[in-house]
Structure 1
Amino acid sequence: MSSSHSLGRALCAMVTPFSDDGSLDLDGAQKLAARLVDDGCDGLVLNGTTGESPTTTDAEKTALVRAVSEAVGGLTSIVAGVGSPDTRHTVELAQAAEAAGADGLLVVTPYYSRPPQAAVEAHFLRVADAVGVPLMLYDIPGRTGTRIEPDTLLRLAAHPRIVAVKDCAYDLPASTKVIARSELAYYSGCEELNLPLYAVGGAGFVSTVANVAAPQLRAVLDAFDVGDNARAIRLNQLALPLAELMMASGLPGTVTAKALLGALGLSAGGVREPLQPAGREASCGLLAAYEELTRSST
C-alpha cells in the first residue's frame, strides 16, 4: 500500500451496486472498485453504512467481498463491514469476510441495546480473537447510541489485531488524546474533519464522498504531506460544499452518492427500501456542486 498504514490512507466507503431488479450487481461492483482504485483510493470499505449493509443478506455481503477481492485484491486494501448488534452474528460475519478475501474488518459498536463500556470492550475483543486480520473500530455514537470512550479505545489498542478507528464521534480533542497515547490509526469518517484529524496525526479518511470525488479528497492529504498547508486548506475548503450536499442535506449519503453516480453516467443502480432515490432537483444540485468542484480544484 502507498500508506505506512496497512489499510491505506484514502479509503472509499463504497456503495453497493444493484441491478434494475434490485439484485446484487457483482459485475458493477467490480467495475466501480476498479475505477476507485484508478482514482487513487488505496482502500475500499465494503458493506458499511454507505454499502446498505442493513438491507443486504449475509450471503450478499460475502459475495461482494469475494467479487471485489477478485477484481482489485492486491491493488488496494479491502475492508469489510461486519458490524451488527449481536456479538455472535458479528463473529460469523467477520469469519466469512476473512475467508472471502478481506484484508481488514470494520466493526461498529453494537447498536440499539446500548451496552455499557465493559460490554462494548468485550464485544470487540471477541471479534478480534476470532479472526486473523486487523480490525478498524467504528465509533459513530450518533447512529449507534453508544460511544467508544477514549479510555476504552486505549485499552483495546493493546490487542494486536485492533489497529484502527473510523472516527465519527465529532470530538477532536478526545481523538487527539487517543492518537497521542496509542498506535491506533485514526481515519476521519466525516469529510469536514478529514484535514483537521490528519493534521493532528490521523491516518487518512474513510469517505462516502470518495465514490465520486476521490482525487479531490486525496489531493488535500497529498498537499499536507509535502508541507503545502495553504494548498491543503484551499482544497479542503473547495470540497466542503459537495460534501455538505452529499452528507448533510437531509438525504443519506448512500442516496446522494448513487444519485450523483447516475448523473455522471456511472450508475450503481437504485437503493433498497426503506431508502428512496433522490429526486431530480437534488440530483441536479449534486451535479452542479460536483462540476464546480472539478472546475475549481484543477
Structure 2
Amino acid sequence: MTTTPSPSHPSRPSRPFGRALCAMITPFTTEGALDLDGAQRLAARLVAEGCDGLVLSGTTGESPTTTDEEKSRLVRAVREAVGDGVPIVAGVGTSDTRHTVELALAAEKAGADGLLVVTPYYSRPPQDAVEAHFREIADASGLPLALYDIPGRTGVRIEPDTMLRLAEHPRIVAVKDCSYDFLGAQKVISRTELAYYAGCEEHNLALYAVGGAGYISTVANVVPDRLRAVLDAFEAGDTPVSARLQQRATPLIELMMASGLPGTVTAKALLNELGLPAGPVRSPLRPADRQAIDGLLTAYQELTAD
C-alpha cells in the first residue's frame, strides 16, 4: 500500500488509503446471493479507471443486509482481484461494540488494509461512549481506522472535540466525513494529522482544497475517472479546470445521491444498465423505477459524452 507523505506532518502519511476511493457496491446474483465473480470484475475495473483504493461493506455495500461470512468472503475475493498494492478498507461498523470488534478481527484476517467504523447507531450514545467505542475497536485490531461520521443515518455525530481526542490514538488515522459541518471538518484538519475523506461528492473538491485527503465515493462506482479528474486537475494547479469538472459532475451526483433514492439503489441501477456487475438490492431496499433509471442514464451520458 503506497502513501504520500504530508509536508506539514511528516510523521504520518496524509493519504493512508490513497486519494480517490470508491465505496463499492456489493454485487448480487439475480437470486440475491453474493456474486464474488462480479465483485472481482467490478473491483478490477474501478482500479483500472482511476480508483486508488476500495471501501467494501459500507453503506453503499449494503452492510446491514450482508452476513459476517459474506463480508469476509468479499474482502478475500477483492484482494485476489486487485492484488496487494490497492488499499482495501473494510466496513465493520455496527451498533454493537462487541460485534464490531469481531468484524474488525475477521476483516484483518481476510486481508483488509484498514477499517471503516461508523458511529454506533440507534442507541444514540453520548460522546464519551462514542469515544470509548472507537478506542476499543482501535485497540483490538492492528489495522488503521477511518472513522465514519454520518449523523444523518446514525442519529449521532462525532463531535469535533471528540475527533481531536481520538486523533491521538496511533491507529485512528482517517475520517470519512458526511457530517455536513464544513467548519468542524476544517477545525479538525487544521489541528490533527487525520486524513479527511469527503463522503459527500458535492464536497470532493471543496474539502480537498482545504487540506482533505480525497474522497470515498458512491458515484465513483459508475464514473471513477470523472471524479478522479477533478482532484488531478487541482493537484496540477489548474483550479478553474477542477472547478468546471466538479460542476459537470454535479447533475449526476444530485440524481444519484439527492433524488430521494439511496445511493446503493441508483448506483446499482446504472451499473445494471451499463452491463456491469451489480444485480439487485436486498430488502428493505427496492430497485429504481424506469423513470428514475432513464434520468440517471441521461445524466450519465451527458457527463461521459466527450
TM-score by length of 1: 0.98
Identity of aligned residues (%): 73
CA distance in 1, matches of 2:280, 2:251: 24
Deviations 1:40-59 (A, max 9, x none): 10110000000000100111
Task: State the one-letter code of the partner of 2:248.
Answer: L
Deviations 1:271-298 (A, max 9, x none): 0001111111111111110010012xx4
Aligned partner of 1:144 in structure 2 is 154
Tell me, which stretches of 5 or more residues in structure 1 are unaligned?
A: none
Task: State the one-letter code of the partner of 1:110.
Answer: P
CA distance in 1, matches of 2:37, 2:48: 17
CA distance in 2, matches of 1:8, 1:233: 21
Task: Return the match for 2:274 from 232, 245, 264.
Answer: 264
Q: Is the 8 A contact 2:248 2:303 kept in 1?
A: yes
Q: Is the 8 A contact 2:118 2:148 kept in 1?
A: yes
Aligned partner of 1:13 in structure 2 is 23
CA distance in 1, matches of 2:294, 2:277: 15
Q: Is the 8 A contact 1:2 1:42 kept in 2?
A: no
Q: Is the 8 A contact 1:259 1:277 kept in 2?
A: yes
Between 1:2-11 and 1:55-64, the stretch displaced more is 2-11
Pairwise CA distance, 1:15: 0.2
CA distance in 1, matches of 2:66, 2:181: 31
Task: Return the match for 2:108 from 98, 112, 124.
Answer: 98
Aligned partner of 2:34 in structure 1 is 24
Q: Is the 8 A contact 1:37 1:75 kept in 2?
A: no
Q: Is the 8 A contact 1:42 1:75 kept in 2?
A: no
Pairwise CA distance, 1:3: 4.8
CA distance in 2, matches of 1:9, 1:269: 28
Aligned length: 296
Task: Return the match for 1:38 from 38, 48, 64.
Answer: 48
CA distance in 2, matches of 1:19, 1:91: 29
Task: State the one-letter code of the partner of 1:119.
Answer: A
CA distance in 2, matches of 1:267, 1:131: 32
Task: State the one-letter code of the partner of 1:17.
Answer: P
SS of the aligned residue for 1:98 comes to helix
CA distance in 1, matches of 2:3, 2:118: 23
Aligned partner of 1:79 in structure 2 is 89
SS of the aligned residue for 2:282 comes to coil
Q: Is the 8 A contact 2:16 2:195 kept in 1?
A: no
Deviations 1:169-207 (A, max 9, x none): 001111001000000000000000011100000000000
Residues 57-68 of structure 1 aligned to structure 2 (within 5 Å): 57-68=67-78
Task: State the one-letter code of the partner of 1:174.
Answer: G
1:126 matches 2:136: yes
Task: State the one-letter code of the partner of 1:64.
Answer: L
Residues 144-223 of structure 1 aligned to structure 2 (within 5 Å): 144-223=154-233
1:51 matches 2:61: yes
TM-score by length of 2: 0.95
Q: Is the 8 A contact 1:47 1:82 kept in 2?
A: yes
- RMSD of aligned alpha carbons: 0.9
Task: State the one-letter code of the partner of 1:128.
Answer: A
CA distance in 2, matches of 1:209, 1:178: 26
SS of the aligned residue for 2:174 comes to strand
CA distance in 1, matches of 2:2, 2:64: 31
SS of the aligned residue for 2:261 comes to coil
Distance 1:141 1:133, change over 3 A: same
